[in-house]
Structure 1
């Protein structure tokens, strides 16, 4: 096996079980290593640290997998990791929930792999050269364990470009998913577009937060911004919301949302679906003097890296300021950030600034986070990306 020797003083994170070795930490490479090849990583004294997968085109040059030198990275190792990931989540698949994240990349010791189960279909994304090398093996294990009707790949992400990989979309096993796969989450029916929808098709990470937010909406008027296919909207209607206005810039999202409202038998006369840029629409609502009892702000990732955090903070502040201005005393704002670069304390500060600019006094009454099928390894805090706040206007 080829050896990677780290520079002096650059091995601390690897010893502490952090799964990333950046290219600048590498001192020497023994052998001719190909992208996606398993390597052994050593410190400058040539003490074994871990096994990992090398890729010279990526800033993350080695993705570490295993710190026990006795555990060889072979077919059995990969299959065991897949089995453990699924076993840890099987209890989440119930009569009311048949959509779950099966594999969450570094959190499950499978860096660069996302796998989501949507009823009888599995959607996967491959972000790294190492997983690309064993993709067929992983698909085979998923089939053995879950017997899906089909497994579909949605690997069309910017991260693949950084790994030197082309886009890869299509059926990996079994049937092509239908235009809409029918799933259940929190007892609510959804039609999910795996092939053309955003990311892998549906955001399982907000499952608990949708349910929790809905506890505050009975008899209320709610605004659901960046609604996508309607997760917060549908939970609100089931909980007895009087009216919901749902906004998204995507025509496909709005069409899917309308179909989901109808499919669940909710009163369509109480629903307003708007295709619009959210910031533009919030500005229009403010100019029109509109008010809501509950507002949900669930925007896309504004801060993909720490270098963009300052700019993203301004965007989050402006978005939340516009939302807060549509709430009167007693109104609630459920606001979220899926930017891993923004921690919860920074997010609280941004919302406090937004409230100050909006002329509102607020309380934080609940914190939201990602659910257990999106776990966070203690050695990899970067895996904690989703955070949210329930804010009351005083």
Structure 2
């Protein structure tokens, strides 16, 4: 095994169990480590800190895995980590919920690995060279633990490119998922597409927030923006919203949403599905002097990094300003950000600026976060990416 020596003073985060070592922290490499293989990480005095995955192509040069020197990272170690992650989430599965995140990367000591369960199928994402090298072992353990009908890989090309990996999408075990897999969340049925579209078009990280937001919609007129396959829309119908307008730029998302509304037996006469750019549609609604009681804004990630935060803040502000303009006194805005670079306090400030520009006085009445199958490891606060606010216009 090759050794990596860290600069004095650059080893603090590693000692504090943070899983990332950046290339600038490395003082010396002893040997010729291969990308994706395990290395020992040591202080300048050659004191053991941790085992980690090495990758010379990545800015995160080492992804730390294990801080106990006597616990060698072999196939049994990987299988144990997969088993622990899956076991901790079993209680979340029921007749009313058969979709859950089984493995959440660094939070589960498996950096670069995401595994989602959609009914009888698993969707995996592999974003690090170490996971790529051991992928067959992980898939074998998942098959033993979950016995899925099939495992389909949908790995993000940009993340893999940073690790020096080629694109990887396709069937990895069992049978190919059908065009639409039926899942159940909060007692609502969905047809989702695992193999195409924007990942699955369905995000189980919003499971609790969809339910919570729906508690405020009975008898209300609802606007669901960035609706994807209809998570917030269908929860609103279940809680007896008087009408729902759902907006998304994706034709596949709108088609899937419409099918989901019919499949659950909701009244299509009180539902309007619109394929449009959301900002453009919000401008149109404002020009037409439309008003809603509850508006949901769940956009894609605007800030992929801290460098993009200023630009993203402006985009969030403008989007929320347009939403707030469509609300009267007592109206509610459920607004979300899945940008890890934006913390909740910054998000609150952005929404406050949006309200000021919209000429609205607002109150924050609830905060939203990610559910327990997306845990935040204490030593890796970067894993807390999803945040939301329920805002009331006063």
- On whether the aligned pair clears a TM of 0.5, the verdict is yes
Whole-Å Cα distance in 1 between the matches of residues 36 and 79 of structure 2? Answer: 17
Q: Output aligned runs, 1:164-175, within 5 Å.
A: 164-175=164-175
Aligned to 2:283: 283
1:113·1:124 contact (CA, 8 Å) conserved in 2?
A: yes
Flag structure 1 segments of 5+ consecutive residues without an equivalent.
Answer: none
Superposed CA offset, 1:282-328 (max 9, x none): 00000110000000000000011111111110100000000000000
Whole-Å Cα distance in 2 between the matches of residues 197 and 145 of structure 1? Answer: 28
Superposed CA offset, 1:164-214 (max 9, x none): 111111110000000000000000000010000322552000000000000
- CA RMSD of the aligned region, Å? 0.6
Aligned to 1:329: 329
Q: Is 2:74 the partner of 1:74?
A: yes
1:330·1:393 contact (CA, 8 Å) conserved in 2?
A: yes
Aligned to 2:380: 380
SS of equivalent to 2:117: strand
Whole-Å Cα distance in 1 between the matches of residues 215 and 202 of structure 2? Answer: 22
Whole-Å Cα distance in 2 between the matches of residues 217 and 376 of structure 1? Answer: 30
Superposed CA offset, 1:114-166 (max 9, x none): 00000000000000000000000000000000110000001133110100111
Aligned to 1:25: 25
Instruction: Give runs of ≥4 in structure 1 deviating > 6 Å.
Output: none
1:222·1:243 contact (CA, 8 Å) conserved in 2?
A: yes
Aligned to 2:338: 338
1:124·1:200 contact (CA, 8 Å) conserved in 2?
A: no
Whole-Å Cα distance in 2 between the matches of residues 380 and 338 of structure 1? Answer: 16
Q: How many residue pairs are counted as aligned between the two chains?
A: 394
Aligned to 1:391: 391
Aligned to 1:159: 159
Whole-Å Cα distance in 2 between the matches of residues 251 and 50 of structure 1? Answer: 48
2:157·2:166 contact (CA, 8 Å) conserved in 1?
A: no
2:201·2:229 contact (CA, 8 Å) conserved in 1?
A: no
Q: Output aligned runs, 1:241-390, within 5 Å.
A: 241-390=241-390
1:116·1:200 contact (CA, 8 Å) conserved in 2?
A: no
SS of equivalent to 2:80: helix
Residue 264 of structure 1, CA deviation: 0.4
Aligned to 1:205: 205
TM-score, normalised with respect to structure 2:
0.99
1:195·1:201 contact (CA, 8 Å) conserved in 2?
A: no
Whole-Å Cα distance in 1 between the matches of residues 96 and 220 of structure 2? Answer: 25
Superposed CA offset, 1:207-234 (max 9, x none): 0000000000011100000000000000
2:5·2:42 contact (CA, 8 Å) conserved in 1?
A: yes
Aligned to 2:45: 45
